[in-house]
Structure 1
Amino acid sequence: METFQSLKRRTTDLLQSIPQSLPQPAISTKPTIPTLRGTWEKVELPPLPRSSHTVDVVAGTAYIFGGEFNPRKPVNNDVHVINLPLSLSASADSYPVKASPPQGQNGGASAAKEKGLTEVPLSGEDATPEGELVEQVGSSGPAGASNLGDVPPARVGHASAVIGSRIFVFGGRGGPDMSPLEESGRVWVFDTRTHTWTFLDPAPAAAGAVARFPSSRSYHAAAAVDRPRHFAHARQAKSETWHDWAMGDSAKVGIPQAPIVGNVAATAVDEEDEGYGTFFVHAGCLADGERTNDIWAFNVRSRVWSELPTPPGPARGGTSICVTKGKIFRFGGFDGKEELGGQVDVLHLASDQFNDFISTGEVSVTARGDWETLTPIPQTDSLDPDLWPAPRSVSSLLPVHVHGRDYLLLLMGEGTPSSDGHNAAGNFLADAWVYNIPTPRDGSIKHTVFNAIGRKSTAREGRWTQITAEPYDDDVTDELPSARGWISASVVDELEEPAVFLWGGVGDGNVRLGDGWILRLG
């Protein structure tokens, strides 16, 4: 009978021989390219060719405004509404909406002349009161906005962003000479609930001060946040007893046996009409032909423009920005000589608070410190080579949430400018990338654990991953969007997967494209 010691020795020899008995596969020494799967679905609609337009998605419906079909000729000031196919059985449909102010109102400029400043509501028809024109800073155009109409004229190269159910639009070029439209800091507002236009002009400055706002521009970028939103309100009278607190004021709500109907609705306030959020505008091409690198924040509630710290790098047009997790992110652009890239610039935001120990609320969104720059991570023994998208301009940068993580999605764009700069079409890109936004704990915990056990870190925090694109329909093997720039895209929150909607742009041969696509990630 075999002894325990000999059995143990045989077992040990057998286990030690296993690695030598296994086949040795050939392992490539070339770095692997990380990818993320994505699918493109073409939205079946009649063509609507245009570029230098804006696309915004609100509650599963896309709104296309402005742009050009023929170079330097704005199409019109209609808003094209597209109901997106949000289920397998649904189909898309679209229709145009003519530009009009709210029904029964003559717009803001003329109405404000007959009102005092305190009577001008924030819902839109709030131009500068008569005799209190806003003084313009940094532009040679006329001061004030009283000569502007009640709806935005046709334009190209403008920028937009969404706050709640409203779309905010700033800038662009148009008119007979196709120069940046001089609108004295006005922000146009399209209400997707009523399909009407209003506007917000900068509030007049205090006596002796100068109201500042961004110069007129085109081919700039815009983004928005829904803060400040919680404002301080007058404190209500304190109830004397718990019964009074629970039952409320009987003079307003009545009693259970005889309730007063309609009082609550009569005093209800639409927070969108009151205004909330902050609208950001960055960079672009000015009226004198120069580019700029400034960034401004427009407080929707107070109608005040404030300039934020200037980002690093040269002045540029065609750049892209987005806001997520309390930060502004920027990528790319064109400085007049070359396409920009190779870094992601970040500005942390903070919300100023009001607290007088009686009431509290948010006041404004400001910058917290200066800009930071994220660059490629150098290759080391514990990290794979860091791959970055090519420099580009006139692309789209959007925040998306995939597999529990926050990403920046970079879509297409112009990779090589023409010999005439942005006055003609260059070489375009068809790729899509996601940037895994780093968080403080990623570097301090995960990388420490990997290093402690002697394992290479495969974490993608702070790194780019290229999307492997496929058709959404398995029966269609070659239907993918073509390379393009001068595009516009927006996040779609109503689908099961993280998704964005893209429309139009300029393709090879300087051709305006009129197709729409949904990109799903995951």
Structure 2
Amino acid sequence: MEVVTAKWTKLTSSERLRRSSQVLSIVEETVWIFGGELFPRQPVDNQIDLINLKHSTVETKPHTSAPSPRVGSACTALNGKVYIFSGRGGIDMTPIEEGGILWVFDTLTSSWSTISPMSTSQPYPAARSYHCLTSDGADIIYLHAGCPANGRLSDLWSFSVSSREWTELASAPDPPRGGTSITFTGTKLYRMNGFDGTKEQGGSLDIFDPLSNTWSTQNYLPDGISGPEPRSVSALLSLKLRGKPSLVTMFGERDPSSLGHQGAGKMLADVWVYSLEAGTWSKINASGDADGFPDARGWFAADVATGVAGMGSILVHGGLGESNERLGDIWLLNF
């Protein structure tokens, strides 16, 4: 197993940033944060928090045209804009049905808008929460799985920004799940982890090929030694390490709380790298700064911070700690 080293650096922490089940994207050198909850089933608000990566400053911006407050949403950045789909809207935790629209935040003009399907008669993905979004970096946004009003989903959809069309693709391998993670790199989409309603999923990296509209699976031993343990509400990100395409998964909830959404289960603090060339996992040997290391957590937000420092960087914000406390810290993992 290859030894991969990295270093944690704490950028900032504040009461304003304390939350879980939020969404986050990084556009150039600005971290964009929206939504989440400080108390169970109570969305914080619909303001935007912006963090400058150079100076670690936090700016909060209210917008009258912003989406309604929500938790368990999903977002992805594409061509300088951040796209959001659905989420839960309040105490009853009902998914927010908006007819297949995506909310769009333009980082250049600091303005909100929506993008609707071109045809109102064509199918579109149902409202949901704890789903995931990613993009191909050009025109296509992918939406996967999550929790509708009842049960869990395994569906996969693509949305063409240029043509404003939703297309339902082949569903991912069972079981249906919420709190799963996807990322896109090269020409393929990757999916792993999640909660099926009974237990956390692990031991398989599912790979979707858009050209053939088919899934394949790479299995591994999820023992915490050869490969990462099963988990949900974690992260899956793609970046190049030492010039080689890699996937990174980190943190997450290992065992659910007996209190459901009202409590915290067993949380993880490990970070793993998957070599797409070798098809193997390596557990990261991380060092800390004067502030030590980030606490174990799930229900957090993370993104790749391109070109911030070192050979690659991942930013982690907030989430739910094992003591059932919402976290307000921001950490940078530099490889």
Counterpart amino acid of 1:346? I
The answer to whether structure 1 residue 93 and structure 2 residue 61 are counterparts is no
Partner of 1:426: 265
Partner of 1:396: 235
Partner of 1:68: 37
- What SS class does the counterpart of residue 290 from structure 1 fall into? coil
Given that 1:291 and 1:317 are in contact with CA atoms closer than 8 Å, whether structure 2 keeps it comes out as yes
Given that 2:41 and 2:90 are in contact with CA atoms closer than 8 Å, whether structure 1 keeps it comes out as no
- What SS class does the counterpart of residue 333 from structure 1 fall into? coil
1:23-64 deviations in Å (ceiling 9; x for gaps): xxxxxxxxxx54310100001243311000011000111000
- What SS class does the counterpart of residue 272 from structure 2 fall into? strand
Partner of 1:290: 151
- What SS class does the counterpart of residue 71 from structure 2 fall into? coil
Partner of 1:485: 298
Residue of 63, 67, 73 corresponding to 1:152: 67
Counterpart amino acid of 1:408? L
- What SS class does the counterpart of residue 212 from structure 1 fall into? coil
- What SS class does the counterpart of residue 344 from structure 1 fall into? strand
Partner of 2:19: 50
Given that 1:100 and 1:197 are in contact with CA atoms closer than 8 Å, whether structure 2 keeps it comes out as no
Counterpart amino acid of 1:95? E
The answer to whether structure 1 residue 340 and structure 2 residue 182 are counterparts is no
Counterpart amino acid of 1:63? W
1:251-298 deviations in Å (ceiling 9; x for gaps): xxxxxxxxxxxxxxxxxxxxxxxxxx11111000101x2111101111
Given that 2:309 and 2:334 are in contact with CA atoms closer than 8 Å, whether structure 1 keeps it comes out as no
1:285-340 deviations in Å (ceiling 9; x for gaps): 101x2111101111111111111111112010000000001110001000000000
Q: Report the alpha carbon displacement of residue 348 of structure 1 after superposing the two structures with TM.
A: 1.5
Given that 1:395 and 1:413 are in contact with CA atoms closer than 8 Å, whether structure 2 keeps it comes out as yes
1: CA distance between counterparts of 2:214 and 2:242? 31
Partner of 1:169: 84
Count of aligned positions: 331
Partner of 2:218: 374
Structure 1 residues 422, 34: closer, same or farther in 2, change over 3 A?
farther
The 5 A counterparts of 1:158-197 are 158-175=73-90, 177-197=92-112
The answer to whether structure 1 residue 223 and structure 2 residue 223 are counterparts is no
Please give the TM-score of this superposition, normalised by the length of structure 2. 0.95
Q: Report the alpha carbon displacement of residue 156 of structure 1 after superposing the two structures with TM.
A: 0.2
Given that 2:144 and 2:156 are in contact with CA atoms closer than 8 Å, whether structure 1 keeps it comes out as yes
Partner of 1:443: none
Structure number with greater CO (CA < 8 Å, separation at least 6) is 2
The 5 A counterparts of 1:488-503 are 488-497=301-310, 498-503=312-317
- What SS class does the counterpart of residue 328 from structure 1 fall into? strand
Partner of 2:318: 504
2: CA distance between counterparts of 1:94 and 1:509? 26
The answer to whether structure 1 residue 80 and structure 2 residue 60 are counterparts is no
Q: Report the alpha carbon displacement of residue 423 of structure 1 after superposing the two structures with TM.
A: 4.9
Counterpart amino acid of 1:391? P
Once the two structures are aligned, what percentage of the paired residues are identical?
40
Please give the TM-score of this superposition, normalised by the length of structure 1. 0.62
Q: Report the alpha carbon displacement of residue 422 of structure 1 after superposing the two structures with TM.
A: 4.7
Comparing both structures, which one devotes a greater share of its residues to strand? 2
2: CA distance between counterparts of 1:172 and 1:323? 22
Q: What root-mean-square deviation, in Å, do the aligned CA atoms of Structure 1 and Structure 2 show?
A: 1.6
2: CA distance between counterparts of 1:214 and 1:72? 23
Structure 1 residues 301, 100: closer, same or farther in 2, change over 3 A?
farther
Counterpart amino acid of 1:372? S
Given that 1:337 and 1:421 are in contact with CA atoms closer than 8 Å, whether structure 2 keeps it comes out as no
- What SS class does the counterpart of residue 279 from structure 1 fall into? strand
Partner of 1:39: 7
Comparing both structures, which one devotes a greater share of its residues to helix? 1
2: CA distance between counterparts of 1:187 and 1:294? 17
1:46-101 deviations in Å (ceiling 9; x for gaps): 3311000011000111000000001100000011000013xxxxx31011111244
Runs of 4+ in 1 over 4 A off after TM superposition: 420-423
- What SS class does the counterpart of residue 410 from structure 1 fall into? strand
2: CA distance between counterparts of 1:186 and 1:44? 34
- For structure 2, the 5+ residue unaligned runs are none
Rg larger in 1 or in 2? 1
Partner of 1:280: 142
